[in-house]
Chains A and B, each alone.
Chain A
Amino acid sequence: MAKVVTLFRACKMSEKISKRNFVKSAIIGAAGAVSMTKMKGMSTDMHRHDELERDNLWKWSKECFYYEITPRGLKCQLCPNECILKPGDTSLCRNRVNFRDKLYSIAYGNPCAMHVDPIEKKPFYHFLPGSRSFSIATAGCNFACLNCQNWAISQASPKETRNYDLMPPRVVEETSKYNCVSIAYTYSEPVTFYEYVYDTSVIAHSKGIRNVIVSNGYINEKPLRNLCKVIDGATIDLKSFDNTTYLKLNAGELQPVLNSLKIFKEEGVWLEISNLVIPGWSDNLDMIKRMCDWLAQSGLQDTPLHFLRFQPMYKLSQLPPTPVQVLQKAKKIAQQAGIRFVYIGNIGGSEEISTYCPRCKKLIIERKGHTVTANHMKASNCGFCGEKIPGVWS
């Protein structure tokens, strides 16, 4: 930088700051900036916010299933956040609004993400392996994970994202069009677009299409038990096994997620658990041991557990990827705790993502990438020793 301007000595700074001068300066600055905006029309998306006030309803609104009227406002009873919303307020998940003393979801029929993915990508390894899943998400999430891969939609309101117009019947039509056997409600947080998930699942079931959610499991008991009636599978991301970490990393709590895992099991929904091992956050091996012990003691030994490798992302972009050694140690701990199907994701190769029979130890489903390259299952059993392998296979 130029020296002449680097160190100067505005002796007049000692004079009292007059309001008039300040306002004058501010106006000059503002005028300059406004004229610049006009010059290039930089904020092309600004009209979006102006036109669509957050607390207004739109085509993609539906009255929420779970809320109570309280003297303080409407209390959303969908997830443990239990937001209390006064008229015009928006929930923490950004897609529930109090409009004239009724609680509405504004994430109904308007997914911002729509893809066709291999079911293994979710990850689901014991649920219709080798099939494709029509995957959708609306904006919004009841967590605020620092490492979110989909932060651009999870930390946004549906009124801030560019959305498709895809009401439940059309979701089912598109699923058939792309030859998918299931619909995955994924990417952001399906709990927060509960009504959309529920209604779509009901229609999908009537057409023989399965429904799976990829979720953080942060949901209250009553809505979860109802949802379990219409969905077929769930991959729950158990972020860590420590409440403080849950709070600081995800803005949530551990216990409700553990409750959800038990409910999924009780309701007979196929469950798989993923655990993203983040260096410095969730890579403590003692904590992983406690988690695995709890899973085993809670009757979840047969629930596949996926340890996933972290890659620098979003607000944790200064962290390194999880060392492979840590993931291998975690896997060993899980196996010692009695978890029968433990996988390591995001490290490449085949061995750690293939399924081995817990009895005869033979390879029964070989996976490479997201592809099933060999399947030695016979119906729901190991093709070699006949051991029943838990999962949804057909």
Chain B
Amino acid sequence: MFSENKLSRIIIAALFILGFTSILVQLVLIREMLNLFQGNELIIGFIFCLWMLLTAAGAGCALRIFRNVNKYQLISRLFALEAIVPVIVVGLLSVVDSLLFPPGTTRGLIIALVYCLVFLLPGCFVSGLLFARLASLLSESRNTNCVSLAYGWESVGSMLAGILFSLLLAFLLRTFQVLSLAFLCNLVAACLLHPEKLNKFKKVIVSVSCIVVTALLFLMPADIRMKSLHYKNEQILYTRDTPFQHVTVTESNGQVNYYGNNMLLFSSNNPNHAEEAVHYALLQHQAPEKVLIVSGGIADMSAQVFKYNSVETLHYLEIDPWLVKAEKEFTNIPEFPGMEIFHKDVRQWIRNSTNWYDVIIINSPDPSNAQINRYYTLDFFKQAQKALTPHGIFSISLNSTANYMSTEAREVNRIVFQTLQEAFACVEIIPGGRNYFVASDASLGLNIADRLQKATLENDYVTPYSIDDELLLFKNRQLLTEISEPVALANTDLTPVAYLHQIRYWIYMGEGSKSTEILWVSLIIISSLVLFAARKTNPYSAGVFTTGFAGTSSEFLVLMVYQSLFGNIYQMTGLIIALYMLGLTFGAIIRSKPGSNTKRYYARVQVVIIVLVAFIPVVFKMAASSTEALSWAVQGTLFTLITAIAFMAGLAFNKATVLAGSSFITTASNLYAIDLAGAALGILLTSTLLLPLLGMWATCILLSVLVLAGLLILHLFGKSGNFVQSMQDE
């Protein structure tokens, strides 16, 4: 067997690898799940919750599973399993899906939950098992409590994987190539921990086998094979994961189809959406010269826009450069002087524009998550209004409500319509293939057929013959009657209420009526499971629960604030997450100063968290009214804030492990579970309910109150004094 020093080093290396590979696999699997379920905020929250719960379950079972077995041999085998399981799971995900579901069908909430549970279980469970056992082995090898150290090395691995994936792997590697990297790393760990000493020959055989299998995984076109199961009747021309989505291009009977995360974005020979999106907006302007279009397919959109002789400039924004690259490769994009393509987030793009565009058209999916919702908020509408010329036209759309508007759809339409009304003097809704909302400070007209006749445009769908102005007005009035009253809460960056209703609408579509009840029941079930995981809470660990809750919630809120102020900048989002993890890790493993392991010190840490969390909306308020010159200062403040909150949350955890009493391992295990529960519940409830319902200010106050409640519990029920000494005495 290994010498003590060597063993310690090997365990640390294994912990590092575990952290590194589990994050890589987590990122890949979550991406695959979101591909299947078109990730709205509820699904994202559920995936995170389940991930944490299943990992916790694995850790919880560690003691039983490792009883009376050769622990090194089992760990080695588990690492081998951890290497293979993700590859199989991702493969199975496509195979099972293609067997169970007919082509092209979407899945509802219940199916999504079952899927997440089944496919996340193996990887998460094994990873939980491994951590728990490695942490205790490290303590055994050094004959002291090394749980924090184990946690630290595993966190370093995780952090590195997160950064590497965000900045490099997501751009360079396909799904199975990322998995092959994790596969190789886990096999290395399996070999390192293998108890038998291998002779040279065996070593060579094992090494070569590992490399060959990895190379095969890396080089085989497994992604295309798996994707082809999903696109049974289409030939895949191009498929890749980009940092923004999974782009797939297919061909069937001469038609080229472009998909983002398995949802159809646009097709060739199908200009109906482009015609509606462009002409309903441009026809409202007497002589549009400068046009901004966000997404929707450059070929079709530009072809429609340049039917207007007055147009001089078309700025086409598509945040995903790979999508444009694919479109250029597989569709003939007409060349127009004055057309330029940019790969930016529209909120970043128009932040400093004033009186520039005559028409802005947003082709966005419906606001199903916080990210997309940013294009439907009052803050954005006001930005757009500022970027438009005085007679400028703004257009955005929602799914068609065809011949009837369900209660759920009515809520979303009502919110978007009334929010637009707060930013623009005139707003009209034009029912077509989608519900097109056209807004302007100038007057608008619904005599579309009349305008089309005058404009003499050669269209296929949007023609004076397919639109009857009288009937259009009839439908428009019907819709307005539905959505004008009662007054809706405006959808803002800090109170993003639209996406909560969009989630209800999605549930209604998948599961039928009772969408609200299903939403509540599913949240209650998941929350109950999380709270069950935290059932061992005591006066000391209550603080860990509340700071875990507040910590992850703050991370989400700071991301929202950042993206509201500066747009969705991929690298910056990665940086914020990295800073959060860095602060957390540092706080958790920092060495205690003499005298700091007291209840008072622990309480102070929590007070600092209360202040920092309450500071988030203050920063937003100040930043929103600051000048451009101060934008770096604002960004710096946000980065500092999130690092500080994370550091404090980590420090609270660190202190709680010392203060909570009883044996080191039991205390640490309990606290980890409680911290996990708090964080899981925080991300789920804050993103799906608290922020949309209460808004940023009230959410932050609620988070502060929650931490304060933990503090009060500590004050009322916790023993005073320094417990380190008493524990050492034990």
Contact = CB atoms under 8 A, between A and B. Distances in A.
Given A10-B57, A325-B255, A320 B548 contact: no
A379 interface: no
Name the residue in A8, A13, A36 with the highest tally of chain B Cβ atoms < 10 Å from its Cβ.
Answer: A8
Interface stretch (A58-66, A200-208, A308-316): A308-316
Contacts of B263: 317-318
Interface string B679-707: 11001000001000110000000000000
Contacts of A12: 60, 535-536, 669-670, 673
Q: Kindly list the 10 A-B residue pairs having the minimum CB-CB distance in the complex, ordered from nearest.
A: A13-B60, A369-B466, A10-B673, A348-B460, A5-B679, A11-B669, A9-B59, A319-B104, A369-B465, A368-B465
Given A7-B154, A155-B512, A318 B407 contact: no
A8 B672 contact: yes
B407 A162 contact: yes
Interface stretch (B83-91, B523-531, B562-570): B523-531
Interface stretch (A41-49, A67-75, A221-229, A261-269): A41-49
B255 A324 contact: yes
Interface stretch (B61-69, B194-202, B215-223, B328-336): B61-69
B392 interface: no
Contacts of B56: 8-10, 13
18 contacts: A4-B155, A10-B57, A10-B677, A13-B56, A13-B59, A28-B531, A36-B693, A39-B693, A42-B516, A49-B513, A152-B406, A162-B407, A318-B259, A320-B250, A323-B252, A348-B459, A349-B460, A371-B464
B117 interface: no
Main SS class of interface, B: helix
A106 interface: no
Nearest to A284: B233
Nearest to A324: B269
A290 to B, nearest CB: 19
Interface in B1-56: 19, 22-23, 26, 48, 51-52, 55-56
Given A36-B689, A320-B234, A6 B55 contact: yes
Interface in B642-664: 646, 649-650, 653
A160 interface: yes
Interface stretch (B125-133, B310-318, B601-609): B125-133
Interface string B257-273: 10100111001011110
A153 to B, nearest CB: 5
A326 interface: yes
A321 interface: yes
Nearest to A22: B532
Interface stretch (B286-294, B418-426, B581-589): B581-589
Name the residue in B269, B478, B513, B584 with the highest tally of chain A Cβ atoms < 10 Å from its Cβ.
Answer: B513
A332 interface: no
Contacts, number: 308
Interface string A5-35: 1111111111101000110111011101100
A150 B234 CA distance: 27
Interface residues of B, number: 122
Given A10-B676, A113-B403, A146 B255 contact: no
A347 B275 CA distance: 13
B467 interface: yes
A373 B473 CA distance: 22
B105 A17 contact: no
Contacts of B632: none
Given A8-B676, A10-B60, A146-B102, A320 B581 contact: no
Interface in B539-593: 548, 551-552, 555, 580-581, 584-585, 588
Contact of A4 (B465, B510, B584): B584
A363 to B, nearest CB: 15
A318 B404 contact: no
Contacts of A153: 403-404
A315 B649 CA distance: 43
Interface of A: 1-15, 17, 21-22, 24-26, 28-30, 32-33, 36-37, 39-40, 42-46, 49, 112-113, 115-118, 132, 135, 137, 146, 149-153, 155-157, 160-162, 187, 248-249, 279-281, 283, 311-312, 314-321, 323-326, 347-349, 367-371, 373
A160 B252 CA distance: 40
B531 A25 contact: yes
A253 B652 CA distance: 64
B116 to A, nearest CB: 15
Given A2-B584, A4-B584, A316-B104, A29 B528 contact: yes
B264 A10 contact: no
A326 B653 CA distance: 63
B455 interface: no
Contacts of B471: 115-118, 132
A169 B276 CA distance: 38
Given A33-B527, A369-B467, A43 B516 contact: yes
B544 to A, nearest CB: 10
B135 interface: yes
Contacts of A28: 527-528, 531
Interface string B511-524: 01110110010011
Contact of B509 (A7, A151, A371): A151
Contacts of B675: 4-5, 8
Given A12-B673, A137-B403, A369-B465, A1 B48 contact: yes
B474 A116 contact: yes
A39 B685 CA distance: 15
B463 interface: yes
A3 B158 contact: yes
B461 interface: yes
Given A8-B673, A33-B527, A2 B551 contact: yes
A33 to B, nearest CB: 5
B106 interface: yes
Given A45-B407, A280-B232, A370-B466, A323 B670 contact: no
A155 B677 CA distance: 38
Nearest to A248: B102
A280 B252 CA distance: 11
B584 A3 contact: yes
A4 B588 contact: yes
A161 B512 CA distance: 12
Name the residue in B154, B259, B512, B588 with the highest tally of chain A Cβ atoms < 10 Å from its Cβ.
Answer: B512
B98 to A, nearest CB: 12
B719 to A, nearest CB: 21
B405 interface: yes
A157 B512 CA distance: 10
B636 interface: no
Given A12-B536, A152-B404, A320-B250, 7 more contacts: A3-B154, A3-B581, A5-B675, A7-B154, A187-B404, A320-B267, A369-B465
Name the residue in A17, A29, A311 with the highest tally of chain B Cβ atoms < 10 Å from its Cβ.
Answer: A29
Contacts of B159: 3
B326 interface: no
Interface in B484-533: 500, 509-510, 512-514, 516-517, 520, 523-525, 527-529, 531-533
A32 B527 contact: yes
B264 A318 contact: yes
A242 B591 CA distance: 72
B528 A25 contact: yes
A118 B449 CA distance: 15
Interface in B151-169: 151, 154-155, 158-159, 162
B665 A8 contact: no
A371 B102 CA distance: 37
B642 to A, nearest CB: 11
A39 B698 CA distance: 12
Nearest to B27: A1
A150 B404 contact: yes
Contacts of B296: none
Nearest to B26: A6
Given A318-B262, A348-B272, A9 B669 contact: yes
A3 B19 contact: yes
